[in-house]
Amino acid sequence: MRKWWAIGIVIIVFSIAALAFFLFPRTAADSVTMDEAAQTIEQLYGGAIENATETEGFYQIEFKRDDGTYLAAINRADGQVESLELLEKTGSAKALTEEQAIEAATAEEPGETKEIQYIESDNRYEVEIHSDTERKILFISAETGEVMDVQTEALEPPAEPEPDTAQPEPERIISQNAAIAIAKETLDGTVDEVEFVQTTDGGYYLVEMDDNASDREATIQIHAIRGETMTVEWDD
């Protein structure tokens, strides 16, 4: 009697499972619903869901956070985030100019301003100021002008100058004008800049020119002793 009772329970369980399968089918290729995919994005990244669409094998979930709008691709089979793309970056506006940031920094820490740079990701300025004994970097909010942080380190005293033991420069056989003339024989163009580089064998000139034929820029290397064209390098 107990055996037939147990068999009856098994049959009922399988019947309920089969009925649930036919009433609520979910294929292996689509085992995650769009609502579940959206919930996954909200749990992982926060923000508000803006749009959700279906593509072959994926849900495309567009969501917005304080720092920007993103598009995530969710695998419909296993619910994994396959890709995440930043569509539009948003953030606080840069209200301060560099001059205003320097004024805010020097009002806090007087000294000589050596460098300033804007950090877009944090919407702030980093201002480097030197005194006689210290180097300080001040972090200035580009939105409010507030001094957010100051980093300080001691400056080493200037080293004593070493005696000049450098070898005298080798005599240049050709002048800068001569180097330009040689470069123009190599390339028909307009000279933008000429630089001399000292080496142990007499040095060389670097002549930057705009090629008239191709409208590209090239750098021609002219040996300062031999007066010959050593290399021609084209800018991409």
Spatial strand order in the sheet of 58-65: 48-55, 58-65, 68-75, 81-89
What's the pLDDT at 92? 60
Burial class (CB in 10 A: 0-12, 13-18, 19+), 62: middle
pTM: 0.34
pLDDT of residue 169: 54
Q: What is the pLDDT of residue 234?
A: 86
With a cut of 50, which residues of the chain have pLDDT below it?
Answer: 3-4, 6, 10, 13, 17-28
Are the C-beta atoms of 192 and 208 separated by less than 8 Å?
yes
pLDDT at site 28: 45
Using the CB atoms, write b or e for 105-144: b if 16+ within 10 Å.
Answer: beeebeeebeebebeeeebbbbbbbeeeeebbbbbbbbee
Q: pLDDT per residue over 40-58, tens digit each?
A: 999 998 889 999 999 989 9
Residue 89, amino acid: K
